[in-house]
Chain A
């Protein structure tokens, strides 16, 4: 799955700093927005760069999950199995943490955060 970072205010309400899923835009819209530098594909950093994620990231490398984007896209069940968790609550919490880490400050300062719009 592709994630986009919003670079310019969009007519659909997103503002610079927002992170949205690739499914937010039809392919031809996404192309036009990319061509006009209104959005950019998010290239997530390695997981081991996230504070407190060193040990967790080493384990995730076993299933070829190396970057923040890899982790957001991986199936929750696969991660649950890797960490011997019975529910997906913790995995969802981790994903929220990574997602939050990817969102720049300008988006966090908004009164009503609009993150990971679909």
Chain B
């Protein structure tokens, strides 16, 4: 079998978020550094009987994922940190909801795009400070989602 030439670089993707009901999207590739936590698992269990020598495995529902996004801290209203903070702090909704979508190859037509359903913001990192550090302040958030849908960018 010949070695693939279709590998995709890790660092050239596009990440967008929606705090508007997964309808209108904001490209946060200019502030986002990474997204992780993309592994989804299925509930499973097993049982044993007196007669058998091995387990009887069973499967259940897909479990939710906790996607972690790391951002550069900025103070511009239209950029990711402030958008997510506003969604996180919104009162009376038991926490804000958010949707994410990203395209590992960059989001041009023909590229794959992964889109979450409406997710629950479960954590948000406010800016920290460190007098001994030289880099920019990094912040982030975690969103719990039930599923991810893969489509092909067609616009």
Contacts and interface: CB of A to CB of B under 8 A. Distances in A.
Interface of A: 8-12, 14, 25, 28-29, 32-33, 35-36, 38
A38 B151 CA distance: 9
Interface stretch (B107-115, B120-128, B137-145): B107-115
Given A10-B153, A29-B154, A29-B155, 14 more contacts: A8-B151, A8-B152, A9-B149, A10-B151, A11-B113, A11-B115, A11-B152, A28-B109, A29-B110, A32-B108, A33-B110, A35-B110, A36-B111, A38-B154
Contacts of B150: 9
A11 B110 contact: no
SS class of chain A's interface: helix, strand, loop or mixed? loop
A10 B110 contact: no
Interface of B: 108-111, 113, 115, 149-155
Contact of B110 (A9, A12, A14, A36): A36
Contacts of A28: 109
Nearest to B105: A36
Contacts of A36: 110-111, 152
28 contacts: A8-B151, A8-B152, A9-B149, A10-B151, A10-B152, A10-B153, A10-B154, A11-B113, A11-B115, A11-B151, A11-B152, A11-B154, A11-B155, A12-B155, A14-B154, A25-B154, A28-B109, A29-B154, A29-B155, A32-B109, A32-B110, A33-B109, A33-B110, A33-B152, A36-B152, A38-B110, A38-B152, A38-B154
Shortest beta-carbon contacts, A-B, top 4: A32-B110, A32-B109, A10-B154, A36-B110
Contacts of A11: 113, 115, 151-155
Contacts of B111: 36
A35 B155 CA distance: 15
Nearest to B107: A11
Contacts of B151: 8-11
B86 to A, nearest CB: 26
A4 B113 CA distance: 21
Contacts of A32: 108-110
A27 B154 CA distance: 11
Contacts of A25: 154
The interface centre, meaning the residue of B110, B113, B153 with most chain A CB atoms within 10 A of its CB, is B110
B109 A12 contact: no
A25 B113 CA distance: 17
A10 B109 CA distance: 10
